[in-house]
């Protein structure tokens, strides 16, 4: 009998989602004779049974479109805001899955989605996932789709900022996305020839950054480009976070754990404006006019790059083949030049960070880039 599969996109959107939906949907329907049902707005659509039949017309003409035709959300199955109340919707999700007589569910998402997908696997659902995120930080895959497009956007922005920085002899600080992993800042910084690159994985000393900029000035280079991942922090801030995490993990009661969790949340909320503070500090320390550009969601919008379209199509069509083999509980991952199946249990909850000795950090140092350490 023809298989019936469900698809959802979850977490922050990124370019290439529609290419993946199209690749998966077309291969599933036209090559393997499956029926394909889309769930709207991530796990919320699965919990509240909001669906759309992914027929030929729906899957046509979307390859180059940004965003996702299915909509997305950051809802988690076990903690969903229903009428203002945090509710465990796992049972409702399991019921929807069975109501539609699904053979399998494909969840296209980032790190959080992999964890949520594993929760559903543990509840007995047949789930396969695809890795997307502009952060490129999902463990056990060399690449996630969305990253290449964001890298192109961030690099073009840095290129454009170079000419205005040079004209005015200013320092320009550019904030790119990446809360906990700095892949986008690292690669865009290298591609754009940044003078300073700051990553969440490498706490910085603002004095060292200012020193590097002063040395540039002394050598006659009167402008500097500082690329900062949004989650970067100073050495002192990194110590504060470390202490808060320790307090949370070693809390001896529910109450103290909740209190330290709240403190950690407040820290992260307040950290949002840190590139403004960094910009002011650099201006003060160097005496040079300094400006800040925050690229924000520009990096996630618009048409996917050719590389992301190709990769997402490959992942989607291969996923249909995996479903046809009735292999479940895995994510399709790029390892070297091949797509491999990685058990969700092995990767969920793990993040791929930039190691401080990564070859691109070495390359950056060799061309004179400062990492603030």
| Interacting residues with ligand F6P (CB under 6 A) | 12, 74, 110, 133-135, 177-179, 230, 300
SS3 at position 78: coil
Tokens 């058990």 belong to: 343
Q: Which is nearer to ligand F6P, 35 or 271 (CB)?
A: 271
Q: Which is nearer to ligand F6P, 74 or 208 (CB)?
A: 74
At CA 81, angle to CA 80 and CA 82, rounded to 5? Answer: 105
Query: Helix H segments across the chain?
Result: 17-26, 43-47, 56-59, 90-99, 111-122, 147-168, 183-191, 206-218, 235-249, 254-271, 274-286, 306-324, 344-347, 359-366
Q: Which is nearer to ligand F6P, 15 or 372 (CB)?
A: 15
Q: Which is nearer to ligand F6P, 170 or 300 (CB)?
A: 300
At CA 11, angle to CA 345 and CA 53, rounded to 5? Answer: 95
- Give min distance, CB of 256 to ligand F6P, in A: 28
**Annotated catalytic residue within 135, 137, 148, 308:** 135
Q: Which is nearer to ligand F6P, 125 or 186 (CB)?
A: 186
Report the alpha-carbon distance of residue 176 to residue 297 in Å, rounded.
9
Q: 167-183 b/e with 16+ CB inside 10 Å = b? A: eeebbbbbbbbbeebbb
Report the alpha-carbon distance of residue 348 to residue 125 in Å, rounded.
16
Residue nearest to ligand F6P (CB): 177
Q: Which is nearer to ligand F6P, 134 or 354 (CB)?
A: 134
Report the alpha-carbon distance of residue 26 to residue 313 in Å, rounded.
10
DSSP 265: H
Sign of torsion over alpha carbons 94, 84, 42, 351:
negative
**In Å, what is the CA distance from 187 to each residue of 116, 147, 148, 228, 310?**
29, 10, 10, 12, 20
Tell which residue, 153, 207, 226, 141, has the closest CA to residue 184. Answer: 153
- Give min distance, CB of 18 to ligand F6P, in A: 17
- Give min distance, CB of 111 to ligand F6P, in A: 8
Tell me the two tokens of residue 70: 């299915």
- Catalytic residue list contains 135: yes
- Give min distance, CB of 281 to ligand F6P, in A: 22
Known catalytic residues are 135
């Amino acid at each position: 009998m023809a298989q019936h599969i469900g698809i959802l996109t979850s977490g922050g959107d990124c370019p290439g989602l529609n290419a993946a939906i199209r690749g998966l949907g077309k291969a599933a329907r036209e090559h393997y004779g499956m029926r394909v049902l889309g769930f709207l707005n991530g796990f919320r659509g699965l919990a509240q049974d909001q669906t759309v039949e992914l027929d030929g017309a729906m899957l046509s003409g979307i390859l180059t479109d940004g965003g996702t035709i299915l909509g997305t959300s950051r809802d988690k199955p076990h903690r969903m805001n229903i009428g203002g109340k945090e509710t465990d919707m796992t049972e409702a999700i399991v019921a929807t899955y069975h109501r539609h007589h699904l053979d399998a569910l494909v969840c296209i998402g980032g790190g959080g989605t992999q964890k949520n997908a594993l929760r559903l696997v543990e509840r007995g659902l047949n789930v396969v996932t695809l890795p997307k995120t502009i952060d490129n930080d999902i463990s056990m895959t060399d690449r996630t789709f969305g990253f290449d497009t964001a890298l192109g956007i961030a690099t073009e922005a840095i290129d454009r900022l170079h000419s205005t920085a040079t004209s005015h002899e200013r320092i320009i600080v550019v904030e790119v996305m990446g809360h906990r992993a700095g892949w986008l800042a690292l690669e865009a910084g290298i591609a754009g020839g940044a003078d300073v690159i700051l990553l969440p994985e490498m706490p910085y000393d603002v004095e060292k950054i200012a020193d590097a900029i002063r040395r540039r000035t002394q050598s006659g280079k009167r402008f500097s480009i500082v690329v900062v991942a949004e989650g970067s922090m100073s050495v002192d801030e990194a110590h504060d976070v470390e202490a808060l995490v320790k307090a949370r993990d070693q809390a001896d009661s529910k109450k103290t754990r909740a209190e330290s969790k709240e403190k950690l949340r407040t820290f992260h909320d307040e950290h949002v404006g840190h590139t403004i503070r960094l910009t002011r500090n650099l201006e003060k320390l160097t005496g040079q006019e300094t400006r800040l550009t925050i690229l924000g969601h520009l990096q996630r919008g618009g048409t996917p790059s050719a590389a992301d379209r190709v990769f997402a199509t490959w992942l989607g069509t291969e996923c249909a083949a995996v479903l046809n083999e009735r292999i479940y509980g895995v994510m399709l991952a790029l390892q070297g030049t091949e797509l491999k199946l990685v058990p969700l249990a092995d990767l969920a909850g793990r993040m791929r960070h930039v190691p401080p000795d990564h070859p691109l950090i070495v390359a950056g140092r060799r061309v004179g880039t400062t990492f603030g350490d």
